[in-house]
Homo-oligomer: A and B are copies of this chain.
Amino acid sequence: MPIGVWLVGARGSVATTAVVGAAAVRAGAAPPTGCVIEAADFPRDFTPLGDLVFGGHDVVATPLRKRAELLAQAGVLPPVLATLLAADLDAAEAEIRHGYVPGEESQAQAARRLAGDIADFRERHGLSRVVVVDVSSTEPPAEVPYATLADLEEALASGRDALPASSLYAYAAFTAGCGYVAFTPSAGPTPPALDELARRGGLPYAGRDGKTGETLVKSALAPMFAGRALRVRSWSGLNLLGGGDGATLADPAARESKSASKARAVPAIVGEDVEGLTHIDYVADLGEWKTAWDHITFEGFLGVRMTMQFTWQGCDSALAAPLVLDLVRLVARAHEAGHSGVLPELGYFFKDPLGGAGHDLPTQYARLVAFAQALSEGRP
């Protein structure tokens, strides 16, 4: 039975790539490379990529067809797909609604409107479930001063702008009875009042900040050092980001969210503080690509110092989009199976895994496989 994918940031690079990619796989024009749950370790009964229906919110107006052409020019999509799959792009385009713009309406009004958009989409397509995914631009860090759902709803009712935009979308998603995926480092569903709302509605969510590049490698390498009892002494990094993601992060406040998210993995895995900073720079010339260099010093037997460096040259949209398609299918199935609140079992996908999931990639992977199998076999 088809399920819905509601993308916040529906005209962004990740969203466009996800729409094109799902259609390409359905059309037999591409294999599901990069989709984790299509691999041999996973049960075969998740919703097929071809049974996903796309819609979403955005505040920019560039149509998906145009976005797909730009991504094709940038080398992210094979040029032929933008043409071949024009009908699929138009279908998703028809399901994009105007997003939330602070000041245009009260947050209470906006929340009702956004939730209504999602509910209409679900009904119009007869979808069993819709999962909302935040793939919009990263927000600066934000505090939500309302500790309980009651406090929050009172603030909204009194006309206040009580939430950062990402959390307003999560509020709307939960209000509409949908699971949620926080694919960015923004606050999204993390304020306690929203967790309360999700649990009350029996709604699962997962997050946060998709782990697609440098942090992925960190979470694979740090356990190697830890397992070998080699002591990591410093870990420094420079991330060069082009494209929309980089431009957002040219704003130091937004960059702070991202850097905080990135800094946690290594000390958490090796079990002690590690010297070193991770920088993020916007380099427009890189286009849709990003490059990260990491430099690690470590200590071996009898205090000998050694060094490792790596350079990662990735295309973020191509790495993120298949994970979005995985997450939607996992969260929909978890929703169906009665899971509610945060899903720490999905920590494998995230830089800053919610729910105490740990950062060690092999452990995260084993937990994900076990969770997927339990879902498939109807176990809790």
Contact = CB atoms under 8 A, between A and B. Distances in A.
A308 B227 contact: no
A107 B70 CA distance: 53
Given A38-B229, A217-B224, A236-B281, A321 B301 contact: yes
A226 B220 CA distance: 12
Interface stretch (A124-132, A254-262, A312-320): A312-320
Q: How many copies does the complex hold?
A: 4
Interface in A18-39: 20-21, 24, 30, 32-36, 38-39
Contact of A308 (B224, B311, B321): B311
A33 B313 contact: no
A361 to B, nearest CB: 6
A315 B293 contact: no
A284 B236 CA distance: 12
A255 to B, nearest CB: 13
Among A20, A285, A301, A307: residue with most chain B CB under 10 A: A301
B361 A227 contact: yes
A200 interface: no
A362 interface: yes
Interface in A226-240: 226-231, 233-234, 236-238, 240
Interface string A279-316: 10101111000010101010111111111111111110
Given A76-B304, A304-B315, A224 B233 contact: no
B275 A302 contact: no
A297 B242 CA distance: 12
Interface residues of A, number: 77
Contacts of A38: 229
Contact of A33 (B77, B231, B237, B318): B231
A279 B239 CA distance: 11
A201 interface: no
A306 B315 contact: yes
A348 B230 CA distance: 15
B293 A223 contact: no
A159 interface: no
A252 interface: no
A268 B342 CA distance: 36
B230 A302 contact: no
A378 to B, nearest CB: 25
Nearest to A75: B75
Given A216-B224, A279-B238, A233 B315 contact: no
Contact of A276 (B17, B20, B283, B293): B283
Nearest to A231: B33
B221 A77 contact: no
A283 B276 CA distance: 6
Contacts of A237: 238
Given A220-B223, A229-B39, A318 B301 contact: yes
Given A295-B293, A309-B293, A365-B362, A36 B228 contact: yes
B310 A309 contact: yes
A322 interface: yes
Contacts of A224: 216-217, 220, 361
Contact of A303 (B33, B236, B240): B33
A33 B229 CA distance: 6
20 contacts: A17-B302, A20-B302, A21-B301, A33-B301, A36-B229, A40-B271, A75-B75, A81-B302, A216-B228, A217-B224, A224-B361, A227-B348, A230-B319, A236-B240, A236-B281, A238-B279, A277-B281, A306-B314, A307-B312, A311-B311
